[in-house]
Amino acid sequence: MIKNKTQFQAGYSLFELFQDYGSEEQCGQALFKWRWPDGFFCPECGAEQHSKIKTRQLYQCSRCHHQTSLTSGTIFEHTKLPLTKWFLAIHLITQAKTGVSALSLKRQIGVSYNTAWQIKQKIMQVMKERDDSKPLNGIIQLDDAYWGGEQRGGKRGRGSANKVPFVAAVSVDEDGHPIAMNMHVVKGFRLNEVAKWAKHHLQPGSTVISDGLSCFSGVKEAECFHLSIVTGGGPDSVSKEEFTWINTMLGNVKNAITGTYHAVNPRHLPRYLAEFCYRHNRRFQLEDMLPRFCYIAVRTPPMPSRLLKLAEAYG
């Protein structure tokens, strides 16, 4: 019997989490190491000389006197939550197979629903910014999709009202197996929208395979090659070999989001799509999900309160 590579990898247990990051001190030391691997430097002027203000857990720059906390300027800024709870939340969310709802997070880490919701959004924001900084390359399958509508009988639902359009892209290896994917909400399936997306999320020189939807030739503006395969849009189109993975992924993301979150406000859909892709792109790295995530999290700017308020309003 061939064991599933994802299911049978070593992983990282809750027990290990509590051993490694069970106290505030352990979490603080780890975060410091990830934020300043070569030792502290002032985020204002870059100087390394500093003193510690122990009572307030601040680092003061000896040159410009700027005061920095471990979490200031990062996604953790102004948090009132113990780091141990943050780490537990990050562990649960990065290790989850499909997703963890705010309600489930609230129960598992022992915070209010609002707090759980905000943590969840911030963690997803880190995931989004991380993968947004890594454009796909090589051979890429590209497809259009909609959130909020049915896709039965091979119908694509193009142009339907009240649906959120998004592009789904998967880079594949020579055997057509998926390497990495991304999904992004677009304003519509127009050439300039696809071009704009491609410039951000595809590396020049990539080969993009799509169906015959004309806007996809917009990838050429991002210096990519474009191969258009006419599928006819009928029930057979989903079984075309070239689109096997993208269709599987689209089915998976919809099941995962609907199954875990039931309803997602379209405003927040970009982050939920990013969360799904982030985990999928790292499905063989379960063992070091937390350190990798935190390394990026301390390099991700705070989420503006304006966005958080918006998030609360649409919880």
Question: What residues line the site for Zn ion (CB under 5 A)?
Answer: 42, 44-45, 47, 61, 63-64, 66
Residue 74 beta carbon to Zn ion: minimum distance, rounded to whole angstroms: 17
Residue 67 beta carbon to Zn ion: minimum distance, rounded to whole angstroms: 9
C-beta closer to Zn ion: residue 66 or 240: 66
Residue 297 beta carbon to Zn ion: minimum distance, rounded to whole angstroms: 23
C-beta closer to Zn ion: residue 43 or 291: 43
Residue 121 beta carbon to Zn ion: minimum distance, rounded to whole angstroms: 31
Element (H, E) at 23: none
Residue 199 beta carbon to Zn ion: minimum distance, rounded to whole angstroms: 36
Sheet order of strands, 67-69 included: 50-53, 58-61, 67-69
C-beta closer to Zn ion: residue 51 or 192: 51
Please list, in sequence order, all residues whose beta carbon lies within 8 angstroms of the beta carbon of residue 304, skipping any fewer than 6 positions away.
none
**Closest among 132, 103, 66 to 271, alpha carbons compared:** 132
Running DSSP on this structure, what letter comes out for residue 299?
T
Here the contacts of 149-152 (C-beta below 8 Å, separation 24 or greater) are 151/250, 151/254
Can you say how many angstroms the Cα of residue 67 is from the centroid of all Cα atoms in its chain? 31
C-beta closer to Zn ion: residue 18 or 32: 32
Residue 29 beta carbon to Zn ion: minimum distance, rounded to whole angstroms: 23
C-beta closer to Zn ion: residue 73 or 157: 73
Task: Give the DSSP per-residue string, 75-117.
Answer: TTTT--S-HHHHHHHHHHHHH-SS---HHHHHHHHT--HHHHH
C-beta closer to Zn ion: residue 43 or 154: 43
Please list, in sequence order, all residues whose beta carbon lies within 8 angstroms of the beta carbon of residue 58, skipping any fewer than 6 positions away.
52, 67, 68, 69
C-beta closer to Zn ion: residue 145 or 298: 298
Residue 113 beta carbon to Zn ion: minimum distance, rounded to whole angstroms: 39
Residue 57 beta carbon to Zn ion: minimum distance, rounded to whole angstroms: 18
C-beta closer to Zn ion: residue 77 or 221: 77
In sequence order, the β-bridge partners of residue 50 are 61
Give the Cβ contact number of residue 303 at 10 Å: 17
C-beta closer to Zn ion: residue 46 or 235: 46
* DSSP strand pairing (139-147 vs 58-61): unpaired
SS3 content of the chain, % helix, strand, coil (to 5): 50, 15, 35
* DSSP-H helix ranges across 110-243: 113-132, 191-201
Contact criterion met (CB below 8 Å) for 122 and 75:
yes
Residue 72 beta carbon to Zn ion: minimum distance, rounded to whole angstroms: 13
